[in-house]
Amino acid sequence: MADVQAKSLTGKVALVTGGSRGIGAGIVRRLAMEGASVAFTYSSSEGRALQLVHEIESEGGKVSRFKADSASPSDLESVVRQTAEGLGPLDIFVSNAGILSLGTIDAYRLEDFDRMVNINVRAAFVGVQAAARSMNDGGRIIVIGSNTAVRTAFPGTSVYSLTKAALTGLVRGVAIDLAPRSITVNNVQPGPTLTEMTSDHVDLVKPLIPLKRMGEVSEIASLVTYLASKDAGFITGASITIDGGYVA
């Protein structure tokens, strides 16, 4: 864990949806490292969730896990309520949970479209709404989008791109809504990032990145942590792309 004097989020309460693996787990680790008390949700990866809790607690961090289906508004609202009751009012909310279901428009099933919208868009709205109601003034809301909101690039990604583009509009409006409470609202748009889910696509994607490498989870988590900090108090309503120049 970071040295006590270097911890920028000591005393803060954070909730991260979809935090058991990949980018979400990296965000949970970094927020805890910076001194926040962190709760996170997971849907099915209980073993990974338990492992993450053990890892953070063994390093002196404070973390809680909640099983929740991001497609269920009642699950999300319950997690926000339980986090606030157990740890205190939220200071940081990160909407990270999301799914990817590929398919060209001529063959895309409506049920797959509905599930993508429910988890990638509606869940972000429900989570942000519930978090705002349980958040201290001066809090930080961060949604995890994708650089596919700017550049789709491959066939079969139209619906995913649609859901991520929707987040750019959401954060702009919510930023205005919550500005009177000094709550900032921003959207982080990662590009190709090295996780288990992307490991099979490295050779296809890497040549398209000017920096000629995949992003690291720690780099995404670092940007999220900055936006969650006091230093980022004048950044709101922004969609910030972090993709090695992929959309440049």
Residue 78, pLDDT > 90, answer yes
**How would residue 200 be classed by pLDDT, with cut points 50, 70 and 90?**
confident
**How would residue 6 be classed by pLDDT, with cut points 50, 70 and 90?**
low
160 is catalytic: yes
CATH superfamily of the 7-242 domain: NAD(P)-binding Rossmann-like Domain (3.40.50.720)
Considering only CA atoms, give the Rg of the chain. Answer: 17
Mean pLDDT of the residues in the chain: 95
**How would residue 42 be classed by pLDDT, with cut points 50, 70 and 90?**
very high
Where is average pLDDT lowest: 36-45, 100-109, 161-170, 200-209?
A: 200-209
Torsion sign over Cα 34, 35, 40, 45: positive
Residue 3, pLDDT > 50, answer no
Domain ranges of the chain: 7-242
Does the predicted model carry a pTM greater than 0.85?
Answer: yes
Map 29-43 to HEC letters: HHHHHCCCEEEEEEC
Give the model's pLDDT for residue 101. Answer: 93
Query: Catalytic residue among 42, 108, 160, 246, which?
Result: 160
Residue 1, pLDDT > 60, answer no
Question: Is the distance from CB of 9 to CB of 34 less than 8 angstroms?
Answer: yes
Give the model's pLDDT for residue 199. Answer: 72
Tell me which amino acid residue 30 is: R
Give the model's pLDDT for residue 2. Answer: 45
